[in-house]
Amino acid sequence: MRPNIVLLTIDTLRPDHLGCYGYSQPTSPHIDALAAESVVFDRAFAAGIPTMPSFTTLFSGLHPYRHGITAHSSEQRLSEEIILLPQLAKQAGYVTIGIDNLVVQASGRGSWFARGFDFYSGFLYKPFSNQSEQLTDRALGYIDDYQNKPFFLYMHLWDPHTPYGPPPPYDTLHYHPEQAPPDAPTLAEVIAIAPEYYEAFLGDMKLRVPNDYAYVVAQYDGEISYVDSQIGRIIAHLKSRGLWDNTIIILMSDHGECFGEGNLYFDHHGLYDAVLKIALMCRTPDTIPGRGAVMVSTEDVLPTLLELCGWTGVDYPLTGRSFAGAWEGDESPIRDHIIGVESSRQASLCWRTDTWKFIQPIVQDAQGQPIPNIYGQPRDPAPLLFNLEKDPEEQQNVSAQYPEVRNAMAQELAQWRAGEIAARGGNDPMLEGLSLDYNDFMARLTSRRLRG
């Protein structure tokens, strides 16, 4: 009997804020329990951020430079020739169910996310609500309706995306100001980085304790615990219906979140590991639980499912590579580097190995106009280099100290990029699809605050 497939995606989830990845706060008991039955990948990364390019890569098995969607809510469209994961599942005889908002939220600009679904249950993201509970209710209803057929269920939960605002009791569950790290900044210090930006950004969160950095982090952790409770409901429902032992379940995030990395707070920009690293755990009925030691990318999920399920239907080369062998303890390398892209207010490319991270800022668009940073300020075009073995928190830019490493990685990245651009007929999607203009972003924040 063909196994059901449940793909649970959690927006903006840092793996290091989960117990199964070593977090000290009890944010994720249900996810941790799933992890105990899964292969948990410690070196999983997003090939593109933020959400729309990350999930397009997840669904296509292609790097953003190959499928062309490098920005969120840009004017770019995905080619009809690219076959997506729900289409493959449908071709294999599955009932396909999507609970997602990337078509609705982006005013139809992400229309390809509905491809292949028998049922696409869209929604507008509503922070400060119990929306994830309502969406989970939908998922449980679909499971009941199609429990006698093989089904593919994709669920996109937006907690813990900004603005952080978990419902009670999760809003105070992890607020322990006396336990704040001694080196934690004050909110006044964060706001001083860019007062106009952070006063609007933090004001959008409607914080009940508006002057405590620990409270903001507790709201993020509270949203994780809230969404964790919904993951627990789904798992319990699958078990109660006798479906657990015939279900492949993958839980993952699209990207992480910054809490000071690169002088960025409460958002996801910059291609630091805080943003690039994702949670990823995979369980099949015969999984031998453990840790996945191989480096993997969002590109690799689709080819892994192709191998696990024996699906066909893609007649062009994928950039992703199957890590299905990890279920059997195979630690053979999948890849030795990750190439990450961001095409928004911190437009950049990076080349990451286990030892080094090279980040190349993109400071001009296709018309030669400057691209300001997240705060609307001019950007430094100089590349960044981090020695991840000595500095895993990426706090020391050692580009000047290791010019030979910097130059070699810059050349590798430039050659790879040139090859991808040539394959696209000279079009560079990084420069054509820039999104999240600073002024537009600030206007949106101000508008939301005025609406209350």
Annotation: CATH topology of 338-451: Arylsulfatase, C-terminal domain (3.30.1120)
Question: Residue written as tokens 């809003």?
Answer: 171
Q: What is the DSSP string of 10-63?
A: ETT--GGGSGGGT-SS---HHHHHHHTTSEEESSEE-SEESHHHHHHHHHHSS-
User: Pairing relation of β-strands 348-352 and 95-100?
Assistant: unpaired
Number of residues written out for the chain: 452
Confidence (pLDDT) at 327: 75
Confidence (pLDDT) at 287: 86
- CATH classification of 4-328 is 3.40.720.10, yes or no? yes
Give buried/exposed letters for 361-396 (b at 16+ CB in 10 A, else e). Answer: bbbebeeeeebbbbbeeebeeebbbbbeeeeeebee
Confidence (pLDDT) at 436: 66
- Distance, in Å, from the CA atom of 147 to the CA atom of 81, rounded to the nearest integer, reads 32
**Helices 438-451 and 195-203 sit at what angle, rounded to 10 degrees?**
40
Q: What is the DSSP string of 69-87?
A: --SSS-S----TTS--HHH
Per-position pLDDT tens, the chain of length 452? 799 999 999 999 999 999 999 999 999 999 999 999 999 999 999 999 999 999 999 999 999 999 999 988 777 889 999 999 999 999 999 999 999 999 987 677 889 999 999 999 999 899 999 999 999 999 999 999 999 999 999 999 999 999 999 999 999 999 998 877 888 899 999 999 999 999 998 988 999 998 999 999 999 999 999 999 999 999 999 999 999 999 999 999 999 999 999 999 999 999 999 999 999 999 998 888 999 989 999 999 999 999 999 998 899 999 999 999 887 777 788 999 999 999 887 899 999 999 999 999 999 888 888 888 889 899 999 999 999 999 999 999 999 999 999 999 999 999 999 999 999 999 899 887 676 677 777 777 776 655 44
- Distance, in Å, from the CA atom of 32 to the CA atom of 15, rounded to the nearest integer, reads 11
DSSP strands (E only) in 272-368: 280-283, 290-292, 296-297, 338-342, 348-352, 356-361
The full set of domain ranges for the chain reads: 4-328, 338-451
Supply the Cα-derived Rg of the chain in whole angstroms.
Answer: 21
